[in-house]
Amino acid sequence: MTMVVEALALGSEGRSVMVKDTIDIAGYPTRACSRALEDAPPAPRHADVVQALLDAGCRINGKTSLHELAFGTTGLNAWVGTAENPRYPGRVPGGSSSGSAAAVAAGLADFSLGTDTGGSVRVPAACCGVFGLKPSFGRVSRQGVMPAQSSLDCVGPFAADMDMLIEAMRAIDPTFGALPAVADIHIGVVPVSAHPEIQAAVDAALRACGFPLQTLPLPGMQAAYDAGLAVINRETWNACGHLLESGRVGADVAARLLAARDTTDAALAAAEACRAAFTAEVDAALARCPILALPTMPDYPPLVADAADTRAAIGMTALVRPFNLSGHPALSLPFEGASKLPVGLQLVAAKGADELLCAVARELVRRLEP
């Protein structure tokens, strides 16, 4: 099964967990599902999050596949194979943490870990119909996670329900506290451009959940998306550009890396200015409503047969990447549109308010249960 690239049996008989192949497990190579890292040596020690899982009594039973070098949104991988989308066959599983989302959707693990640099937990969660959380930047340790240096990347969990997602956070983040009360929470609805069926499904869920709603535009979203792309391009080139010399990087990712190489210092400086401005914009919106809501993806996940051009598919991250730039925690909840295809509802909270984000998400789902 292409969603699992290494079967393992580590730890006790607690919750079963699978982790993305960018996260170090002692004694096993971290290859990021790239043939260019085929000969990587075994990791000398566990990543902090892996050690935390073991300390929490979890059982790690596999490493999961991903879009090569975590540099793509579809999850397509010509070297190890593309993870099947268990709930929506024929559709892409999303990237880059494709295998981690698919493993949970297939029931192969109680929860899984991915990483999210530009939507790489929330997009596959939306594509595969599961829950996925990008914590606040810096909240969960990235020690032992590839790439070593990132101003965007976050380790985050996938689960089939909110209770398990919260349990996962408690396992990987020792500071994750009690969930606060949410009775008086107002939700700010961010207007965006999305497929009519996706917008309709999101609007229906928000109306039905009973939280007071108000419209809160974020006019800096597009600029933040572009800035986030510039930052990830520069940082991924710095981390992985040397692998092109091997001649073994897949054609789609190699093309993106070559394009990323051209990110100028001026573009990066402009992106950092945008980061400051958009962060302030989101903080101001959250001062009015402690939770923001919008679709996770602007369209349904494409068919695998139509998704070969990684650069053409990058728009899948239009509504998620801005919150990597700003560092706010964001969570995707699974719904379906009129065509019975997957829709993600994305919730965003203030930095450090991961517990509130999870509490609101859990209560929202509870209120919508039949």
* One-character DSSP codes across 54-74: HHTT-EEEEEE--SGGG--SS
| Mean model confidence pLDDT for the chain | 97
Instruction: Tell me which of 311 and 153 has the higher pLDDT.
Output: 153
Residues classed as catalytic: 20, 96, 120
| 211-238 residue pLDDT tens | 999 999 999 999 999 999 999 999 999 9
Single-letter code of the amino acid located at 41? P
What integer is the mean pLDDT of 141-166? Answer: 98
DSSP state letter for 312: G
**Is there a contact between 189 and 214 (Cβ–Cβ < 8 Å)?**
yes
Sheet holding 330-336, edge to edge: 4-11, 59-64, 16-20, 111-116, 154-159, 131-134, 330-336, 342-349, 291-295, 187-189, 213-215
Token pair for 101: 């989302």
In percent, the amount of the chain with pLDDT more than 90 equals 95
Q: What is the DSSP string of 197-257?
A: HHHHHHHHHHHHH---EEE---TTHHHHHHHHHHHHHHHHHHHHGGGGGGT-S-HHHHHHH
Confidence of residue 269 (pLDDT cuts 50, 70, 90): very high
The answer on pLDDT for 314 being more than 80 is no
Nearest to 15 by CA among 106, 111, 104, 113: 111
Confidence of residue 313 (pLDDT cuts 50, 70, 90): confident
Token pair for 2: 């292409």
SS3 label, residue 124: helix
Alpha carbons 149 and 137: distance in angstroms, whole number: 13
Task: Give residue 315's pLDDT.
Answer: 86
| 185-213 residue pLDDT tens | 999 999 999 999 999 999 999 999 999 99
What integer is the mean pLDDT of 75-89? Answer: 96
Alpha carbons 133 and 155: distance in angstroms, whole number: 9
Task: Give residue 276's pLDDT.
Answer: 98
Q: What is the CA angle 165-171-174, rounded to 5?
A: 120
**Is there a contact between 58 and 171 (Cβ–Cβ < 8 Å)?**
yes
| 36-52 residue pLDDT tens | 999 999 999 999 999 99
Confidence of residue 12 (pLDDT cuts 50, 70, 90): confident
The answer on pLDDT for 311 being more than 90 is no
Give the CATH H-level superfamily of domain 4-368: Amidase signature (AS) domain (3.90.1300.10)
Ranking 5-14, 104-113, 173-182, 241-250 by mean pLDDT, the lowest is: 5-14
Q: What is the DSSP string of 250-310?
A: -HHHHHHHHHHTT--HHHHHHHHHHHHHHHHHHHHHHHH-SEEEEES-SSPPPBGGG---T
SS3 label, residue 98: helix
The answer on pLDDT for 312 being more than 70 is no
In percent, the amount of the chain with pLDDT more than 70 equals 99
Confidence of residue 73 (pLDDT cuts 50, 70, 90): very high
What are the structural domain ranges in the chain?
4-368
Alpha carbons 25 and 17: distance in angstroms, whole number: 13
Task: Give residue 310's pLDDT.
Answer: 63
Single-letter code of the amino acid located at 119? G
Distance set, CA 303 to CA 55, 84, 352 (Å): 40, 11, 36
HSE-CB at 67 with a 13 A cutoff on CA atoms is: 36
Confidence of residue 76 (pLDDT cuts 50, 70, 90): very high
Token pair for 245: 């010399």
Confidence of residue 277 (pLDDT cuts 50, 70, 90): very high
The answer on pLDDT for 142 being more than 70 is yes
Single-letter code of the amino acid located at 132? G
Confidence of residue 137 (pLDDT cuts 50, 70, 90): very high
Distance set, CA 138 to CA 135, 164, 206, 365 (Å): 8, 22, 29, 27
The answer on pLDDT for 370 being more than 90 is no
**Is there a contact between 124 and 133 (Cβ–Cβ < 8 Å)?**
no
SS3 label, residue 355: helix
The answer on pLDDT for 121 being more than 80 is yes
Task: Give residue 192's pLDDT.
Answer: 98
